[in-house]
Amino acid sequence: MTHPNLSSLSLLKIGQESDEVLQALLQPYLRDMAVWFEVEANPSGSYPYDTSVIWEQGYDAYLAKLGDSVAGFALIGSADEYLSEVGAQDVHEFFVLHRFRRGAIGRRMAMHLWNMYRGEWLVRMLEANAPALAFWRATIAGFPLGPFAGLRKDESRLVKGRPWVYLRFTSASFAAAPAPTPAL
């Protein structure tokens, strides 16, 4: 696989008017997640996901594009329900289409978001999701935290009887910040 030209990568904040695009991206995401979660397909073969919750609860939705091609998405929201730190951010959902993986797109997306939303961060994943765990640990380890950033924390929690990993850190970095959206 050739590595993509990351200079054409953009991260665009989208709203409810882009719900159809988000719904389309949620299908391959949910197909991937069905390996670890009990996600049942509808009779049509599609996976249910109520996107109205995204808009009602005020998540920030981002669409990643490489040139004119959609490459993935990210949903960012409050981590208040998971942590005691008020104002912490949560990577609620994060996905890069298979054809764009292994080319640093996910890493660039995450770092751009962490630079945009400075402060406490939480990244949660099911412990059994080894690919996600490896990606997030490496991406966070490679993120320049800056002189006033908090320490990285790696916690295990039992949620509904299943082991989860909570990765926590404080983004205070001003180094290596990508150019403003739309161009990363």
Tokens matching residue 64: 């990643």
Residue 32 has φ and ψ, to the nearest 5°, of: -65, -45
Q: Which domains does the chain have, with CATH numbers?
A: 6-171 (3.40.630.30)
3-state SS track over the chain: CCCCCHHHEEEEEECHHHHHHHHHHHHHHHHHHCCCCCCCCCCCCCCCCCCHHHHHCCCEEEEEEECCEEEEEEEEEECCCCCCCCCCEEEEEEEECHHHCCCCHHHHHHHHHHHHCCEEEEEEEECCCHHHHHHHHHHHHCCCCCCCCCCCEEEEEEECCEEEEEEEEEECCCCCCCCCCCEC
pLDDT for residue 72: 96
Per-residue confidence band for 179, with pLDDT thresholds at 50, 70 and 90: very low
Q: 133 near 164, Cβ under 8 Å?
A: no
pLDDT classification of 147: cutoffs 50, 70, 90: very low
Q: What are phi and psi for residue 44, nearest 5 degrees?
A: -80, -10
pLDDT, tens only, 64-115: 999 899 999 999 999 988 887 678 899 999 999 988 988 889 999 999 999 9
Span 150-167, pLDDT tens digits = 556 777 777 878 899 999
